């Protein structure tokens, strides 16, 4: 468990909070690349780490991510005019470029010194991996741009989607780092005894801390002189990389060779945007649209699962995720369809921010306990003026997760040595 004080330190994400200042030392997804507005067109609203922002592309094609409100009288710049290399507030005509510089002040005298002093808050951006990333921290501590293997692969081998989650980022992240829950929560056919993770609900877990966060291996005894060993990576502060070479989709057929994961992006203290990325690792096998659609549907975030025009699931907290008690009695463990929908039901159902002082943790929670320790250490490092773990892209650029079925007595380190290294 965590004390209430420590819980506050890492769940609050706003500027000036201990956790918020730590999180601002990293790059974050702000929108999908497909959501970046066209040059000279209307801006797009964004909210990240408790800050209301606007994204626009000026008439020369430069991307700007700026405070959503004009520094004059805090009028909303969403209604502004995107013209001649800047965004102009329609309240008094003040105009700003993508770097936040004031380029025109028509409501003030021509010789007014104000133009040189007025500044609109702006943040650097970087596009990679089908995502526009933003850095909201101090300029002097900005690390290199994100450089994961999944951001470097060809577009034919890459896919990213996003889903809105109505709770604090930390409980969502903890769900992603918890391997034992998949033996229960995601058991969609109670009669099927072949599912690897349902054959052992109490896997042994090893956690190995690194300069980017940690990797951990879960090993499940399959009961036939074999084990299922799965190596994940946790990349500070909020990314999970997981393997799927042995997974099977809802149709029972082997999946396209790939690994995938999530980044849990804090919108504010009580809302999270989950970026779901997928990376094909076989150069000769691209991610087809048919496969992507099938995968997203099984996870409950396909087109038919979303409220049109949003990243919100139709099955949500307001309708109890359309739980089917008949199905729960006779088919699946939960009665809820969609793997991510099942996750959301539990994570959102905990309330906006979990009081971790009331928990009772066990051996299956090793990865979660380690993550919390790393997060609290990162807060301390930032308070002392140091760079937190995982901020430097060099620490995580060569990572790859892996899983396989191993004969009894096989050392997974030797078996996976080559498979855990990035190839792209």
Question: Which residue segment(s) compose the domain that 77 sits in?
Answer: 36-124
Contact indicator for 321, 339 with CB cutoff of 8 Å: no
List the CATH number of the domain containing 78.
2.102.10.10
Which range is least confidently modeled, 114-118, 192-196, 240-244, 245-249?
Answer: 245-249
State the pTM of this model. Answer: 0.94
**Res. 248 pLDDT band, cuts 50 70 90:** very low
- Among residues 208, 220, 63, the alpha carbon closest in space to that of 131 is found at 63
- Residue 181: predicted pLDDT: 83
Could you give the CA distance from residue 261 to residue 274 in angstroms, rounded to a whole number?
Answer: 10
- 293-319, pLDDT tens digit by residue? 999 999 999 999 999 999 999 999 999
- Among residues 23, 5, 3, the alpha carbon closest in space to that of 266 is found at 23
Structure tokens at 248: 């099977």
Report whether pLDDT(195) > 80: no
Residues 299 and 380 in one domain: yes
Question: Which of 124, 157, 183 is a domain's end point?
Answer: 124
Residues 99 and 201 in one domain: no
- 389-419, pLDDT tens digit by residue? 999 999 999 999 999 999 988 999 999 999 9
Which range is least confidently modeled, 57-66, 68-77, 188-197?
Answer: 188-197
In a domain, 23, yes or no: no
Which has more confidence, 321 or 189? 321
List the CATH number of the domain containing 289.
3.90.380.10
- Residue 223: predicted pLDDT: 84
Residues 160 and 100 in one domain: no
**Res. 255 pLDDT band, cuts 50 70 90:** low
**Res. 19 pLDDT band, cuts 50 70 90:** very high
In a domain, 394, yes or no: yes
Question: Which residues have a Cβ under 8 Å from the Cβ of 252 and sit 6 or more positions away?
Answer: none
Q: Where are the alpha helices (DSSP H) in 244-319?
A: 289-298
Structure tokens at 10: 């890492």
Write down the residue that tokens 């739980």 correspond to.
323
Could you give the CA distance from residue 291 to residue 255 in angstroms, rounded to a whole number?
Answer: 8
């Amino acid at each position: 468990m965590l004390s209430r004080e420590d819980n506050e330190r890492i769940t609050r994400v706003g500027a000036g909070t201990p956790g918020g200042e730590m999180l601002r030392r990293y790059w974050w997804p702000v929108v999908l690349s497909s959501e970046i507005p066209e040059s000279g067109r209307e801006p797009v609203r964004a909210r990240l780490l408790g800050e209301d922002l606007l994204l626009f592309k000026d008439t020369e094609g430069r991307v700007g991510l700026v405070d959503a409100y004009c520094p004059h009288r805090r009028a909303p710049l969403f209604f502004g005019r995107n013209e001649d290399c800047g965004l102009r507030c329609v309240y008094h005509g003040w105009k700003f470029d993508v770097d936040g510089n004031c380029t025109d002040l028509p409501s003030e005298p021509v010789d007014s010194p104000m133009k040189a002093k007025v500044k609109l808050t702006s943040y650097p951006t970087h596009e990679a991996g089908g995502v526009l990333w933003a850095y909201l921290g101090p300029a002097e501590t900005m690390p290199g741009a994100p450089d994961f293997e999944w951001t470097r692969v060809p577009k034919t081998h890459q896919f990213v989607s996003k889903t809105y989650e109505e709770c604090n980022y930390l409980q969502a992240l903890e769900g992603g780092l918890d391997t034992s829950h998949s033996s229960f929560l995601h058991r969609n056919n109670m009669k099927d005894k072949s599912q690897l993770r349902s054959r052992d609900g109490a896997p042994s877990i090893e956690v190995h801390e690194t300069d980017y966060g940690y990797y951990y291996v879960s090993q499940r005894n399959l009961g036939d002189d074999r084990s299922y060993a799965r190596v994940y990576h946790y990349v500070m502060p909020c990314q999970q990389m997981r393997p799927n070479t042995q997974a099977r989709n809802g149709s029972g057929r082997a999946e396209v060779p790939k690994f995938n994961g999530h980044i849990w992006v804090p919108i504010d203290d009580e809302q999270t945007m989950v970026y779901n990325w997928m990376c094909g690792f076989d150069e000769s096998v691209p991610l087809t649209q048919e496969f992507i659609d099938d995968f997203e549907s099984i996870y409950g975030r396909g087109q038919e699962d979303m409220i049109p025009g949003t990243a919100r699931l139709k099955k949500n907290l307001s309708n109890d995720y359309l739980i089917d008690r008949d199905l729960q009695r006779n088919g699946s463990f939960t009665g809820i369809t969609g793997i991510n929908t099942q996750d959301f039901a539990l994570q959102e159902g905990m309330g906006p921010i979990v009081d971790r002082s009331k928990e009772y943790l066990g051996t299956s929670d090793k990865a979660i306990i380690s993550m919390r320790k790393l997060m609290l250490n990162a807060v301390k490092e930032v308070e002392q003026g140091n760079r937190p773990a995982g901020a430097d892209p060099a620490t995580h650029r060569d990572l790859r997760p892996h899983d396989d079925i191993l004969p009894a007595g096989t050392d997974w380190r030797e078996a996976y040595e080559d498979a855990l290294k990035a190839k792209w």
